[in-house]
Chain A
């Protein structure tokens, strides 16, 4: 197992190098650079502009710049944000907890909703409950989060005034009130993201359970005289969850990506909105770092999915 992990991590290195090279080249070739604004600013003399470009190596060949980036990265220097005038790693570390809080809670909500509904729907296929669940799931993943998000803002912030529509990290409150304010402002983004995920998880769990429930070993469990609820939990759900767990793990990077939109709508100062503002400001070091973090997440969650799979399914062995 330890051996397997080590081998997987070693294999991950070349793919991450490849990804970072492609990202770097793409960003370098893209029109516009962080000093574009300086060029049109009449207050900055051309010599200063030129000195800055040289200082940051803007005119070196792409590969040289990539190598500089890589060496700095390995040494823990993630670059400097031109727009925010702070180190990129500080910026990212500032933003990540918020994203983790919102995305993580949304995932928990999604599973808490999807698991019981998916299982119940599958145990009563084509019943009224199943049809209602299916309809809601279908509506759920047909509605984009930017629509449901704005709808919720309209209802709960604008009309009812119950919830704040701008997410803040500088809440002026102490003790319980601080927690309460933090929960209150997370309700809408978490609901929007969570229910959107819940919709697709529900359908996935339902079909996984339907696949397992007709297998002979489930009939065997009933034939042993086990009561139905135990048959479902112990024999059906435990086996149906194997593909579901892997799916959830594999979806995590996509979920972070999808959270960009939600973060944007609710002004959640997470890593997604950092990426958007960096793109708008041509803040290349930040774009590079954030996309690279996303790439690492993809590799990491792939590994997690494989490990979970082997842990849950005794038929898989780590060689």
Chain B
């Protein structure tokens, strides 16, 4: 932990700090659906996000990114770990105090088709959050707020009375953003907000998110399975593999000098715009192992080109290898 503290010496007091977060989902089986094992979806994750900062979380599908994001809001109950928001202990909150936290932290989902209630109008979807937190005292004020939010995300006032199915994917994602903005959150968890959109729309939505960050000073936990999306928007990036963070660094640092062999492999798959620069494509052997039965020691050792005996017996600690650059590897 001392290494993490050192990296934050320059940063202001963190908005969110996550310590040793774990989440194990029970696996049920047999006739009576008894618990017969567990999936360690998140396995001891540490990170911090400063105010108005974008923190990228990258990893292949199934590595536990969404679970991490939902645990932060306690939409999924973490198995263990410590969560602090503005210094307050989030794990001890319950009932009304937990719901109040949801004014400060919001979430945007990957699938813009599934994340809006099909039976509610856009106005009702956005307005519900206002009502819950008592943010509008009169009907005209309520409607004015909704119109203002719609315009903020680039939609029109008359969209209020329509239903979600009448909109395109990009527009729906904007509705989702307006809904998240309604409560004036300090942190928004963006769970692959553009993965389901066309490439041309992706840029528009990312620009909107950046624009909102500048206007309102919102911090983002930006989840993606693709390093190229995150590079553009994040100040710092963490790379996840099978429930653990294997490398964290400032965005530029991570892309220019990746240290973990897994990060190197991921980066080698990202196309470079400049055709004169050649990067060696690293192919990983095998498939991502199942999180139900992850490899011992370093989870990555079964696919790692550098693996030695120690890798299968000892879990490498996330340690600082350069200022602000943390990596969990025995050899780097």
Work out how many contacts link A and B, with CB atoms closer than 8 A: 68
Contacts of A314 in B (CB 8 A): 118-119, 163, 165
The answer to whether A226 touches B111 (Cβ under 8 A) is: no
Q: Is residue A221 within 8 Å, beta carbon to beta carbon, of the partner chain?
A: yes
Interface of A is mostly: helix
Q: Is residue A77 within 8 Å, beta carbon to beta carbon, of the partner chain?
A: no
Nearest A residue to B113 via CB reads A216
Q: Mark B293-325, 1 if CB is under 8 A from A, else 0.
A: 000000000000000000000000000000000
CA distance A106 to B122 in the complex (A): 39
The answer to whether A222 touches B75 (Cβ under 8 A) is: yes
Q: Is residue B129 within 8 Å, beta carbon to beta carbon, of the partner chain?
A: yes
The answer to whether A227 touches B163 (Cβ under 8 A) is: no
Q: Mark B114-153, 1 if CB is under 8 A from A, else 0.
A: 1111110000000011001100000000000000000000
Interface residues in A191-247 by Cβ distance below 8 A to B read 215-217, 219-227, 235, 238-239
The answer to whether A217 touches B117 (Cβ under 8 A) is: yes
The answer to whether A225 touches B114 (Cβ under 8 A) is: no
The answer to whether A226 touches B132 (Cβ under 8 A) is: yes
- Closest beta carbon of chain B to A221's beta carbon, Å: 7
Contacts of A126 in B (CB 8 A): 28, 33
Nearest A residue to B163 via CB reads A314
CA distance A313 to B33 in the complex (A): 34
The answer to whether B117 touches A239 (Cβ under 8 A) is: yes
Q: Is residue A300 within 8 Å, beta carbon to beta carbon, of the partner chain?
A: no
Contacts of A219 in B (CB 8 A): 70, 75, 107, 109, 115
Q: Is residue A131 within 8 Å, beta carbon to beta carbon, of the partner chain?
A: yes
Specify which of B32, B73, B75, B183 is in contact with A131 (CB 8 Å cutoff).
B32
For the complex, count residues of B whose C-beta is within 8 A of A: 30
Q: Is residue A85 within 8 Å, beta carbon to beta carbon, of the partner chain?
A: no
Interface residues in B140-193 by Cβ distance below 8 A to A read 163, 165, 176, 179, 183
Contacts of A299 in B (CB 8 A): none
Interface residues in B1-44 by Cβ distance below 8 A to A read 28, 32-33
The answer to whether B28 touches A223 (Cβ under 8 A) is: no
The answer to whether A225 touches B103 (Cβ under 8 A) is: yes
- Closest beta carbon of chain A to B288's beta carbon, Å: 23
- Closest beta carbon of chain A to B64's beta carbon, Å: 17
The answer to whether B99 touches A239 (Cβ under 8 A) is: no
- Closest beta carbon of chain A to B117's beta carbon, Å: 4
Count chain A CB atoms within 10 A of each CB in B103, B110, B128, B183 and give the residue with the most.
Answer: B128
Contacts of B165 in A (CB 8 A): 314-315
Q: Is residue B100 within 8 Å, beta carbon to beta carbon, of the partner chain?
A: yes
- Closest beta carbon of chain B to A319's beta carbon, Å: 15
The answer to whether B116 touches A217 (Cβ under 8 A) is: yes
Q: Is residue B234 within 8 Å, beta carbon to beta carbon, of the partner chain?
A: no
Contacts of A312 in B (CB 8 A): 119
CA distance A221 to B119 in the complex (A): 13
CA distance A134 to B119 in the complex (A): 29
CA distance A210 to B99 in the complex (A): 23
Nearest B residue to A126 via CB reads B33
Nearest B residue to A224 via CB reads B129
Q: Mark B36-69, 1 if CB is under 8 A from A, else 0.
A: 0000000000000000000000000000000000
Interface residues in B90-114 by Cβ distance below 8 A to A read 99-100, 102-103, 106-107, 109-111, 114
Contacts of B163 in A (CB 8 A): 314-315
- Closest beta carbon of chain A to B143's beta carbon, Å: 18
The answer to whether B116 touches A220 (Cβ under 8 A) is: yes
Contacts of B132 in A (CB 8 A): 224-226
Count chain A CB atoms within 10 A of each CB in B33, B114, B183 and give the residue with the most.
Answer: B114
- Closest beta carbon of chain B to A243's beta carbon, Å: 13
- Closest beta carbon of chain A to B97's beta carbon, Å: 11
The answer to whether B114 touches A224 (Cβ under 8 A) is: no
- Closest beta carbon of chain A to B34's beta carbon, Å: 8
The answer to whether A217 touches B114 (Cβ under 8 A) is: yes
- 7 new A-B contacts at CB < 8 Å, known A216-B110, A220-B117: A217-B115, A221-B128, A223-B75, A224-B179, A312-B119, A313-B119, A314-B165
Interface residues of B (CB under 8 A from A): 28, 32-33, 70, 73, 75, 99-100, 102-103, 106-107, 109-111, 114-119, 128-129, 132-133, 163, 165, 176, 179, 183
Interface residues of A (CB under 8 A from B): 126, 131, 215-217, 219-227, 235, 238-239, 312-315
Pairs A–B under 8 Å by Cβ, sample size 6? A215-B114, A217-B116, A223-B107, A313-B118, A314-B118, A315-B118
10 pairs of A and B residues whose beta carbons are closest in the complex: A225-B102, A216-B115, A225-B99, A216-B114, A314-B163, A224-B129, A217-B117, A216-B109, A315-B165, A126-B33
